[in-house]
Chains A and B, each alone.
Chain A
Amino acid sequence: MNIQVIIPMVIFLAIIFFIGFWSSKKLESSTGGFLQEYFLGGRELGGFVLAMTMVATYGSASSFLGGPGTAYTMGLGWVLLSMTQVVTGYFVLLILGKKFAILARKYNAITLIDFLKVRYSNSKVVVLLAAASIIIFLFSAMTAQWVGGGRLIESLTGMKYTTALFIFAVSVLVYVVIGGFRAVAVTDAVQGGVMVIGTLILLIAVIIAGGGVPNIMQDLLNENPNLVTPYGNEGNLSAAYVSSFWILVGVGVVGLPQMAVRAMSYKNTRSMHRALVIGTIVSGFIMLNMHLIGIFARPIMPGIEVADTVIPLVALKILPAWLAGIVLAAPLAAIMSTVDSLLILVSSSIVKDVYINYINPNATEKKVKILSFGVTTLLGSIVFLLALNPPELLIFLNLFAFGGLEAAFIWPVVLGLYWPYGNKYGAIASMITGIISYIALHFYNSAYGNLFDIHTVVIPVILSLLAYVSFSLLINKTKYIF
């Protein structure tokens, strides 16, 4: 493997490490309490970092390697589908919005579960159910992402998968463990920047290599006219299916704990307003760029078998080596920025939501500190071991975890914020209904094809809404005063 490809990546990793050390210095000098600093960055995120960390956390291995790969196979219909993610740029912050940030401060909430705990009258069932689903689902998502990271380094450097995974694991662990949420958010901002620049360079290069957009479209038309329709290469991508992604990767994202926790981490409403603008533009820009790269790569490099390798292969083919190195830092950045967020979140769930809530409420600051570092390191090591024997199908695992969490959390969070009659019975019923119906429907859909031809997430989200509303009204109906 060309050393020129590796140098930009090493520089990229060096910057990331530097941010980790910088954050750990800030952590030591902070006065706001260790937990708030370590798991929430002291609620001091500015607009740019907030926007970037939201976009980067969400733009994961699946959307960065799998997504363009699928666009390569399916055509413009998949780019249309990917653009449903633009909505996350404004929707999460506008919906959770100021009320969530105000209440989180009032409740002194550091995790999403802290918020749920106070809102649902200290219900132990709510807390433990929520913590269990975060730990289980995001753990599986994390493993899939680590596999993606290891595979990417493997394919770029020619190292063995185990070595590649080890390098990836150590890089992520070091800055997350020592720097906490602030390191995660600030490195996300750098990683987001790398993604914007990387995808832009590669898009321009692909368009030039393909002889301009009209030329590329003509090539696609000649090969298979379906590639330029919204219906996929075989004409079986239905409008209902594509539209259901508005729930999965669009509005449903409000329910994802890793997104919600960011909506309580910003400094003031000016940061939030700025993040709305930057987040919308950056998410749309990255999504459009990288999926167009996928489809535009088709006439240039026909016959790629493994979809996930489209981006690395095309970058290495059409760019000078050093530039390819910069561009290929982008998918690496995408994976890291997702993994780091999940890692710190799962760690916060264990330390704050389970340990401090129920096992040892009087733990000293010092003990909490050691435990936080320890749990984060341990989690990372377990994920590393699991990722050594990697499960198949990255996108599959990833979406399974995200969809299940969305179905579980969207209504307890959103209606908990805006509907005074929502209570703990509704929240419990909603979480159980969401997760169980998601898993059941998932197996049904994989056996018999998608029910109603829509993505698995839609029906569980509707069912969990019904469960939330009916249980809140039927059992112990009370009006909550915010």
Chain B
Amino acid sequence: MDPRFKIAHREALIGVALAIVHFIWWFGFAYGLGSKPVEEYSYILGFPDWFFYSCIMGFILVAITVIVLVKFVLKDVSLEEEGDER
């Protein structure tokens, strides 16, 4: 098999894994903290805690993860037909 496909397959699996972790984080905080009675919510920067962790922190962490992946994990390959790896 084309060695570039090995890299591509690995990176697609990373994408799936990231989406699964992202979903668990998003769901866990939203409904874990958000299902409490409203009176028991605590607030961070004015936002209810479930929203702050699930949507704001979740987004920031995912963005950082993507940056780390791009910097250290994903590999550059040539997209052209005859080209080898650079």
What residues make up the interface of A, taking CB atoms closer than 8 Å to B? 76, 79-80, 83-84, 86-87, 89-91, 94-95, 97-99, 101-102, 105-106, 212-217, 221, 225-226, 228-231, 239, 242-243, 246, 250-251, 268-270, 273-274, 276-277, 280-281, 284, 288, 418, 482
What are 7 residue pairs bridging A and B, where the CB atoms are less than 8 Å apart in the complex? A89-B66, A94-B14, A95-B12, A229-B38, A230-B35, A276-B66, A276-B69
Contact call A270/B76, Cβ cutoff below 8 A: yes
Expressed in whole angstroms, the Cα–Cα distance for A288 and B58 within the complex equals: 12
Min CB gap A298→B, angstroms: 15
- Closest residue of B by beta carbon distance from A216: B46
Contact call B74/A273, Cβ cutoff below 8 A: yes
Contact call B62/A86, Cβ cutoff below 8 A: yes
Q: With a CB–CB cut-off of 8 A, which chain A residues contact B43?
A: 214, 217
Known contacts A86-B62, A101-B79; is-contact A80 B55 (Cβ 8 Å): yes
Contact call B8/A482, Cβ cutoff below 8 A: no
Min CB gap A421→B, angstroms: 15
Contact call A213/B77, Cβ cutoff below 8 A: no
Contact call B48/A76, Cβ cutoff below 8 A: yes
Min CB gap A95→B, angstroms: 5
- Closest residue of B by beta carbon distance from A270: B76
Q: Is the interface of A mostly helix, strand, loop or mixed?
A: helix
Min CB gap A108→B, angstroms: 10
Min CB gap B27→A, angstroms: 6
User: Given B2, B35, B46, B62, which contacts A214 in the complex, CB threshold below 8 Å?
Assistant: B46
Hey, what's the 0/1 contact readout for B27-69 against A, CB within 8 Å counting as 1?
Answer: 1001100110010010101111011001110110011001101
Expressed in whole angstroms, the Cα–Cα distance for A213 and B48 within the complex equals: 10
What residues make up the interface of B, taking CB atoms closer than 8 Å to A? 1-2, 4-5, 7-9, 11-12, 14-16, 18-19, 22-23, 26-27, 30-31, 34-35, 38, 41, 43, 45-48, 50-51, 54-56, 58-59, 62-63, 66-67, 69-70, 74-81
Min CB gap B17→A, angstroms: 10
Q: With a CB–CB cut-off of 8 A, which chain B residues contact A277?
A: 63, 66-67, 70
Expressed in whole angstroms, the Cα–Cα distance for A99 and B7 within the complex equals: 9
- Counting from the closest, the 3 A-B pairs by CB-CB distance are A213-B46, A94-B15, A99-B8
Contact call A213/B76, Cβ cutoff below 8 A: no
Min CB gap A243→B, angstroms: 6
Q: With a CB–CB cut-off of 8 A, which chain B residues contact A95?
A: 12, 15-16
Min CB gap B26→A, angstroms: 7
Known contacts A76-B48, A276-B70; is-contact A90 B26 (Cβ 8 Å): no
Contact call A230/B16, Cβ cutoff below 8 A: no
Known contacts A105-B81, A482-B2; is-contact A80 B30 (Cβ 8 Å): yes
Known contacts A76-B48, A95-B12; 19 additional CB pairs below 8 A are A86-B62, A89-B66, A90-B18, A98-B4, A99-B4, A99-B5, A213-B45, A214-B46, A217-B43, A217-B46, A228-B48, A229-B38, A230-B31, A231-B34, A239-B27, A270-B76, A276-B69, A280-B62, A284-B63
Q: With a CB–CB cut-off of 8 A, which chain B residues contact A102?
A: 2, 4-5, 8, 77, 79
Expressed in whole angstroms, the Cα–Cα distance for A97 and B12 within the complex equals: 7
Known contacts A86-B62, A95-B12; is-contact A229 B18 (Cβ 8 Å): no
User: Given A83, A231, A274, A280, which contacts B63 in the complex, CB threshold below 8 Å?
Assistant: A280
Q: With a CB–CB cut-off of 8 A, which chain B residues contact A91?
A: 15, 18-19
Expressed in whole angstroms, the Cα–Cα distance for A284 and B70 within the complex equals: 18
Known contacts A230-B31, A250-B19, A418-B12; is-contact A482 B81 (Cβ 8 Å): no
- Closest residue of B by beta carbon distance from A273: B70
Contact call A97/B8, Cβ cutoff below 8 A: yes
Contact call B38/A225, Cβ cutoff below 8 A: yes
Expressed in whole angstroms, the Cα–Cα distance for A106 and B78 within the complex equals: 12
Q: With a CB–CB cut-off of 8 A, which chain B residues contact A226?
A: 38
